[in-house]
Every structure is written in structure tokens, then in C-alpha cells.
């Protein structure tokens, strides 16, 4: 399972790459810092949904840095 699919791998303040809803077809990644974790379940097949500090919401595809 990919690191972005597991809630335990993601914490607020981490730098992550997410796919926004509008970019799901293209797979374009948007980087930012996690403000809120929106997915309540422990895992999600498409990635844990988060809100970035700038307000954008998407699913985590990869963790860039832990701080």
C-alpha cells in the first residue's frame, strides 16, 4: 500500500503532494503543507484526503517531508 493511503503516515505540518479533485484525470500533483486531515478511516484506496494550509483539498499521493 502506498504511503498516502494510510492515515497513520500523515500528520499536520507535513509537506505532501496531493491530487486536487479537478486534477484527478490528469494526475497533476500539488505540493503543500497539511493543515487538516479530512479522512476519518485508517486507510483509503485513493489516498487520505487533506486540506493544505492554503485551503486546497485533495488526496495525498506522496509524503515529501515529515516536518
pLDDT digit string (tens) for 23-45?
999 999 999 999 999 999 999 99
pTM of this prediction exceeds 0.85: yes
Strands 15-20 and 29-37: antiparallel
Residue 13 has pLDDT above 60, yes or no: yes
Domain spans of the chain, in order of start: 3-65
CA end-to-end span of the chain: 22
Question: Average pLDDT, stretch 50-61?
Answer: 98
40 beta partners = none
Chosen CATH of 3-65 out of 2.30.30, 1.10.1660, 3.30.200, 2.60.40: 2.30.30
4: left (phi over 0), alpha (psi -120 to 50) or beta: alpha
57 beta partners = 51
* Under 8 Å between Cβ of 20 and 58: yes
Amino acid at each position: 500500500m502506498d504511503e498516502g493511503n494510510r492515515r497513520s503516515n500523515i500528520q499536520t505540518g507535513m509537506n505532501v503532494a496531493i491530487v486536487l479533485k479537478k486534477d484527478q484525470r490528469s494526475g497533476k500533483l500539488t505540493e503543500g503543507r497539511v493543515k487538516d486531515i479530512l479522512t476519518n478511516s485508517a486507510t483509503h484506496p485513493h489516498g487520505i484526503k487533506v486540506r493544505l494550509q492554503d485551503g486546497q483539498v485533495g488526496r495525498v499521493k506522496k509524503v515529501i517531508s515529515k516536518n
